[in-house]
Structure 1
Amino acid sequence: MGTGDSPTLITSVQRAFRLLEAVSAHENGAPAKQLARETGLPLATAYHLLRTLVHDGYLRKLDDGGFVLGDRLQTLHTAGRGQALLSRVRPTLAALRDELAAAAYLTFYEEGEIRVAEIVDGPRAPRVDLWVGFEDAGHATALGKSVLRELDDEARKDYLSRHHLADLTPRTITSTPELLRRLDSSPVAPAVTDLEEYSLGTVCIAVPVYSGGILGSLGVSVPADRLSRIEEIRARLLPTADRVTRSLSLTI
């Protein structure tokens, strides 16, 4: 792209933003002529930009010819809100990492899947090698098992019906009845552990958290030779999880 193109492109972006702002001021939509007048744009320019914005999903054209905001903007708003929420808890996760010298993880149960939202690690607290995605390893990770423990019977059954209990290490639980039995009888409840079930040489412990009504889990991973510190780690995780839940549940 030549440098001579830049001013034209920047101007087009500015004009598109002006149109979006004008459309947002009209709950029931506004026609192109009105939007062009309100933004001070030539009608032909307004038409061109409006068509582009409709094509990309940022605007929607009504049957009466008016324009309203499109679904793409709602998607951006939702994603931005998620980023803002995570920014609130990163300092808490970093403090947990530094205090325990352990990588800290945050997951959420969304659309029937257990997904990693954030990992805070460092030179003294390396993350576990994520050689199998958490979406396919909920049965073998403390983070996943924490979520499964909190789900009701129907949601648990649904999740397990869609996910094979793969044998990731010799310690992985691959029997559904045995997995459920251990979830319901965790000796460190409400925390759960992964004792080299996902990766040999690494143990993890996790506890539940919530972002409003969305279930998640907060956990840390440490070398297996630190297993004797599990109770100490649990004692630190529980109040941190409460703090994370409060931060995530505040209205933005």
Structure 2
Amino acid sequence: MRLLESVARHEYGAPAKQLAREAGLALPTAYHLLRTLAHEGYLRREKGLFFLGEAAVRLSSSSAQQKRRSTVADALGRWRDSIGVPVYYAVYAAGEIEVQCVADTPANPAVEEWADFRETGHAHAIGQCLLSQLDAESRRDHLDRYPIQSITPYTVRDDHTLMRRLESTRRMQPVIERQEYALGTVCAAIPITVGSTAATMAISMPSHQADRLMPAARRLQGEIGRLLGTLSLSISI
């Protein structure tokens, strides 16, 4: 690891003797480890100099991804505690709705996924919010793959009605859903768009607390704005 750290500090490569000195290793030991690291793809050698290899780059990328996931999970946990509701984070990636992180408590549990979230995007706030951020062709493609089906008596009934609803959704406005996915539950989803990727953070609560939904959604929206402004939250987690 010390050798990898030393190599990482040298953008234009470094020879074995310098790396051994920086890592505090005997030269024969350093040579042996450097050859092993190069063989495994963690380093590459060019003209006597060592550089980070593809395996090390993948390792770094994975670490950064875990750090971003941890940042998002921590933020959701704070909002769950301060607002007093379950908080969800989801993205639309490769044509699919993906709920990537959920923060809830036994006292305020998340909505049970009793029907696959990916297949029922038309029926819940998360899916409707993500679909509203897509262009017409992408929406049509999604609904061709996952046709509208009645989940509860309140679920939207047909493509035309859903399309009109999605098209009328104002940019950056919360998407509200009342008992369309789960009876006794209301949800709100906040759109997040960074680059070309659609994402959302959402909340849910029992329908008898519906009067809290919009104030809670507005509060979450304000918190999201502060997080994006200070941490440059990556949505590709």
* 1:217 alignment counterpart: 200
Distance 1:243 1:117 in 2: 19
Matched residue, 1:169: 151
Relative to structure 1, the CA distance from residue 132 to residue 64 in structure 2 (aligned partners, 3 Å threshold; closer, same or farther) is: farther
State whether structure 2 residue 221 is matched by structure 1 residue 241. yes
Cα shift readout 1:185-232 (whole Å, capped 9, x = no counterpart)? 469x923233333333333222223567754222222234444x2xx4
| Equivalent pair of 1:85/1:248 in contact (CA under 8 Å) | no
The CA distance in 2 between the partners of 1:86 and 1:158, in whole Å, is: 31
| Alignment partners' CA distance in 1, 2:148 and 2:37 | 45
In structure 1, how many angstroms separate the alpha carbons of the residues matched to 2:179 and 2:204? 10
CA contact (8 A) 1:204 1:222 kept: yes
CA contact (8 A) 2:124 2:181 kept: yes
Quick check: 239-248 or 41-50, which moved more?
A: 41-50
- Note closer, same or farther for the CA distance 1:29–1:133 as it changes in structure 2 (3 Å cut): farther
| TM-score in terms of structure 2 length | 0.75
**Runs of at least 4 residues off by over 6 Å:** none
Change beyond 3 A, Cα 1:43–1:179: farther
Q: In structure 2, what is the Cα distance between the partners aligned to 1:147 and 1:118?
A: 15
The one-letter code sitting in structure 1 at the alignment partner of 2:201 is: L
For the residue of structure 1 that corresponds to 2:87, the secondary structure is strand
Is the Cα–Cα contact under 8 Å of residues 88 and 202 in structure 2 kept in the other structure? yes
Choose 196-205 or 237-246, whichever is displaced more: 196-205
Of 233-242 and 138-147, the range deviating more from structure 2: 233-242
Q: Secondary structure at the match of 2:123?
A: coil
- Which residue is equivalent to 2:77? 90
Name the aligned partner's letter for residue 223 of structure 2. Answer: R
Partner of 1:145, secondary structure, is helix
| Counterpart position of 1:37 | 21
Specify the code of the residue in structure 2 equivalent to 1:42: A
**Structure 2 runs not aligned, ≥5 long:** 233-237
1:10 is matched with which residue? none
CA pair 71-192 structure 1, distance change in 2 beyond 3 A: same
Runs (5+) with no aligned partner, structure 1: 1-15
In the aligned structure 1, how far is the partner of 2:34 from the partner of 2:118? 39
Corresponding residue pairs, total: 226
1:202–1:240 CA distance, 2 compared to 1 (3 A) = closer
**Offset of residue 67 of structure 1:** 2.9
Q: Distance in 2 between matches of 1:47 and 1:157?
A: 58
The TM-score, its normalising length taken from structure 1, stands at 0.72
**1:94–1:42: structure 2 CA closer, same or farther, 3 Å change rule?**
same
Aligned to 1:107: 90
SS in 2 for 1:139: helix
- C-alpha deviations, 1:163-186, integer Å up to 9, x for none? 413636244446433321222346
2: CA distance between counterparts of 1:26 and 1:105? 41
Partner of 2:235: none
Q: Which residue of 2 aligns with 1:66?
A: 49
Check 1:61–1:157 CA distance in 2 against 1; reply closer, same or farther (3 A cut). Answer: farther
Match runs of 1:63-212 below 5 Å: 63-64=46-47, 66-69=49-52, 70-72=56-58, 73-96=60-83, 98=84, 102-161=85-144, 163-165=145-147, 167=149, 169-171=151-153, 172-173=155-156, 175-185=158-168, 190-210=173-193
Deviation digits for residues 132-155 of structure 1, max 9, x if unmatched? 443343222201211211233344
Contact 1:206-1:218 within 8 A present in 2 as well = yes
Identity of aligned residues (%): 36
